[in-house]
């Protein structure tokens, strides 16, 4: 890992709330992303974190989160 590389940390809050849309409404990871997290590269994790940011924003605006990250 490069010296200045950002290390992706899990957004999991330990309060899983996986809803019918397949998104955890606590951390905004999809079920598939959550399953993959431990095996994912740092680059993949950073992409997942961007998905969580976009989902959280969509959720706060009352928009659908289901197409983000697919």
Q: Over the stretch 1-41, which tens digit does the pLDDT of each residue have?
A: 566 778 899 999 888 888 888 999 999 999 999 999 999 99
Does any domain span residue 41?
yes
Counting every residue, how long is the chain? 70
Rounded CA-CA distance 19/23 in Å is 6
Residue 65 pLDDT exceeds 70 = yes
46, 13, 45: which is closest to 28 by C-alpha?
Answer: 13
**Is 40 a member of any domain?**
yes
- Residue 3 has a pLDDT of 64
| Number of folded domains that form the chain | 1
Supply the range of the domain harboring residue 26.
1-63
70 lies in a domain?
no
**Residue 69 forms part of a structural domain:** no
| Cα separation values, 32 from 2, 4, 36, 45, 69, Å | 28, 29, 6, 12, 10
C-alpha to C-alpha distance for 47 and 31, rounded to whole angstroms: 15
Residue 19 lies in a domain: yes
């Amino acid at each position: 890992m490069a010296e200045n590389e950002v290390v992706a940390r899990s957004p999991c809050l330990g309060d899983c709330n996986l809803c019918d849309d397949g998104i955890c409404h606590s951390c905004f990871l999809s079920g598939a992303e959550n399953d993959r997290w431990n095996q994912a590269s740092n680059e993949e994790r950073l992409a997942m974190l961007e998905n969580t940011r976009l989902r959280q924003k969509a959720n706060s605006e009352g928009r659908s989160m289901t197409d983000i990250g697919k």
